[in-house]
Amino acid sequence: MHIEPGLVAPAKVLIANVSALGLLGFYARGLISQPVDLIRTLLAAIFFSVFMQGFHLSVGPSELHFVGAMAMYLTLGFLPTLYGFALGLLLQGLVFDPIDLPHLAVNSLSLILPLLAVHYGLGRRLRDAARGQRISWATILKLDAAYYTGVTLMVGFWLALADVATPVAAWATFAASYLAIVAIEPLVTYGALRLLKRYEDRPLVATCFSVGALRLA
């Protein structure tokens, strides 16, 4: 779901840089106040990079990726996933695709803003013990559908701002390709949650993952 360098004008990229830095700065205190989240952020960046490099396919104006977004969000937490996206894209740019670094903020926002919408709209209540909502495959499917709808809309947003026109049909082909990810990722996520919940009392699992407050159906 990355935007190729050169499509978005430098002035707009600058605005994206300021926006991304401001957003990351806003949540920085929350991350630093929980040292264990720094470990989880590193894990999120590693998992995300492995997922992204493990499967990617050019589709229309962008790429289809296995992101593992809700798997990371539900097993590692909101802030580690948010910062893991940015750190993971930075690591991948430095190691694999230096040409993508100028659009680091653009691509980070494409992942982070949908995560914010999902977290505050649907996800946060899953960790609210008072509500006691259980997580099923259908719950994860709903989260994934909302998240990837946001991602494809963000790609459409950047393409609309691009100096080079992109046919709507090309974007629609790209957006439709994520239906496969929406169908597959919930199975991976639910399986990972089942496994981690089985060992949630182990010190290593309790430190590296954040599944204690989650209840599975």
Residues 22-33 have pLDDT tens digits of: 999 999 999 999
Does the pLDDT at position 136 exceed 80? yes
> Is residue 115 in some structural domain?
yes
Under DSSP, the state recorded for 120 is: I
| Tokens linked to 67 | 């992101």
Residues 201-212 have pLDDT tens digits of: 999 999 999 998
| Total-model pTM | 0.93
CATH of the domain at 95: 1.10.1760.20
- β-partners of residue 59 are 62
How many alpha carbons lie under 13 Å from residue 105 in its C-beta half-sphere? 17
Pick from 1-15, 71-85, 108-122, 190-204: least confident = 1-15
Q: How far apart, in Å, are the Cα atoms of 65 and each of 83, 113, 184, 204?
A: 19, 17, 12, 29
C-alpha 162/C-alpha 174 separation (Å) is 16
Does the pLDDT at position 100 exceed 70? yes
What's the pLDDT at 39?
97
AA letter at 59: V
Domain that holds residue 22: 10-216
Tell me the percentage of the chain whose pLDDT exceeds 90. Answer: 63
Quote the number of domains for the chain. 1
| Tokens linked to 135 | 């997580």
Q: How confident is the model at residue 15 (pLDDT cuts 50, 70, 90)?
A: very high
> Is residue 5 in some structural domain?
no
> Is residue 2 in some structural domain?
no
CA angle at 161 for the pair 72 and 121, rounded to the nearest 5°:
35
> Is residue 185 in some structural domain?
yes
